[in-house]
Amino acid sequence: MSSRGLICVVDKEGEYRVSQYCRDASPETTGTNALNFLSGEDSEKRKNLLLSGLKKCRYVSIAERSQMWADIGVDIFTDNVSDEKHDEFIANHPYFSKNLNADILSVIISDIPGIDLISSLEFVGDCLFCEWVYVIDFSKNTFEVYQGMNTEPLGEGERFRDFAIFDEYKDAEETSYPPRLLVSYSLDNLPTHEAFMRCICLDEHYDEYEI
């Protein structure tokens, strides 16, 4: 079963230049793919290309997105969007796709001159559904993994401590809180796949990845 979340890239000034919604953010998929991107042969080249490629990424505004839908005959504020219109929209704007997951990193280092993205950072406030967040932070030189569905408030210094909880969850009997830091790795000292999975996977997966 897939789990939803985000993959984010922070530039050297501490700005979130990528905050991509992932339909499948599980450690076995997006987490592993992000780690593989940052590790192994030519990893230094890929990391440098990713950092430089952030300059060609930009977030589109709500007004721009509304016009993009209008261009294919949809009023996003009033119309029910059919599957056919959704597919047409994603065909026109492929980097908005929720199915890209960690593949957005490869898009950024490609020779595409400009990349329009949607900022999904507020999704960390959707505490019942944002299960995993992966942050590549060039200002701290880290690759960080955050796990959601927390029932205790986040402590001082937590990255997502001050992100607003969605209103519909504030009066719940058992309120959940934004994703909490599970592990942080230096980009210069990343784990093996086995060590990564041992660290962040659920208990029932531990034996499968034990070294």
The 10s digit of each residue's pLDDT in 67-77 is: 999 999 998 88
In total, how many domains does the chain have?
1
Which of 12-16, 150-154, 163-167, 191-195 is the least confident region?
163-167
Which residue type occupies 143? F
Q: Give domain status of residue 114, yes or no.
A: yes
- Per DSSP, helices labelled H in the chain are 32-38, 43-53, 62-70, 83-92, 103-108, 167-170, 193-200, 206-209
Q: Give domain status of residue 210, yes or no.
A: no
| Residue 30, domain extent | 5-205
Residue 161 predicted with pLDDT over 60? yes
Structure tokens at 135: 């942050």
Q: Give domain status of residue 17, yes or no.
A: yes
Mean pLDDT score, 141-164: 90
Q: Give domain status of residue 169, yes or no.
A: yes
Going by the DSSP 8-state scheme, the letter that residue 124 receives in this structure is G
Residue 205 predicted with pLDDT over 50? no
The total of other beta-carbon atoms located within 10 Å of residue 138's CB is 19
Q: Give domain status of residue 211, yes or no.
A: no
Residue 184 predicted with pLDDT over 70? yes
Say what the pLDDT of residue 198 is: 86
Q: Give domain status of residue 183, yes or no.
A: yes
pLDDT band at 79 (very low <50, low <70, confident <90, very high): confident
Q: How far apart (Å, rounded) are the C-alpha atoms in residues 154 and 179?
A: 8
Q: Give domain status of residue 68, yes or no.
A: yes
Q: How far apart (Å, rounded) are the C-alpha atoms in residues 106 and 95?
A: 11
Say what the pLDDT of residue 211 is: 33
Q: Give domain status of residue 108, yes or no.
A: yes
Higher pLDDT, 167 or 138: 138
- Per DSSP, helices labelled H in 155-204 are 167-170, 193-200
Q: How far apart (Å, rounded) are the C-alpha atoms in residues 83 and 81?
A: 7
Say what the pLDDT of residue 167 is: 62
Residue 208 predicted with pLDDT over 50? no
Say what the pLDDT of residue 200 is: 80
Higher pLDDT, 116 or 149: 116
pLDDT digit string (tens) for 85-136? 999 999 999 999 999 999 999 999 999 999 999 999 999 988 778 999 999 9
Mean pLDDT score, 61-67: 94
Higher pLDDT, 190 or 76: 190
